[in-house]
Amino acid sequence: MRTIILGLAAAMLAGCVTTTAPANGGDPALERMLSGESVTQGAELDAALDDASEHPLGSSENPVRASMPEGQRAYLDRLRCADGSTPSYRRVGNFGVGVYGNIVDGYEVTCAGEDPKMVVMDMYHRGHVENRPVPGFTIAK
């Protein structure tokens, strides 16, 4: 019983300890991403967007920008196959750091009877809604 009480007291005291260091060690890039913002911003982002536009939307060189996971799903939900049907999709995983300095995700997007297409997405663009479809798809309004 005494061990339990001492353990509870230690846990309560540990909860009282404060620290001034951010939980992530103060990494500004991570701080921005955790708040839903791109690491690259302003004129630097404009230049990166211009460079990215030379590549197909949804590629590693030009990821679809979205606002957090909800924005990624909203974009994918608006994609349409050539026959007008809604494709299925699944998140494959994190593909590392993308062209805007943020972690990017890969999604397999599949239309019935076709091979899946990989769509790379960057979810750290707060408020951004992409209205262009990735190649091979149309997009619902």
**Residue 17 belongs to a domain:** no
Domain contains 83 = yes
Which pLDDT value is given to residue 32? 79
Q: Distance between CA atoms of 125 and 33, rounded to whole angstroms?
A: 9
Q: Is residue 49 part of a domain?
A: yes
pLDDT of residue 68: 96
CA distances from residue 7 to 1, 4, 18, 19, 140 in whole angstroms, order as listed? 10, 5, 19, 22, 57
pLDDT of residue 9: 39
Pull the structure tokens for residue 15. Answer: 């909860």
Scored b (16 or more CB within 10 A) or e, 33-43 reads: beeebbbbeee
Looking at the domain assignment, is residue 130 inside a domain?
A: yes
pLDDT at 3: 42
pLDDT at residue 50 in the model: 95
Per-residue pLDDT, 12? 37
Across the beta sheet with 88-97, the strand order is: 64-65, 117-122, 103-110, 88-97
94 φ, ψ (degrees, to nearest 5): -85, 130
13, part of any domain: no
Range(s) of the domain holding residue 120: 24-139
What's the pLDDT score for residue 15?
40
State how far Cα 111 lies from the chain centre.
Answer: 23
pLDDT value of position 135: 97
List residues bridging with 88 in a β-sheet: 110
Total tally of structural domains belonging to the chain: 1
pLDDT in tens, 87-118: 999 999 999 999 999 999 999 999 999 999 99
Q: Which residue positions in the chain have pLDDT lower than 50?
A: 1-21
1 assigned to some structural domain: no
Residues 6+ apart with CB under 8 A from 124: 32, 33, 36, 37, 38, 39, 68, 100, 102, 103
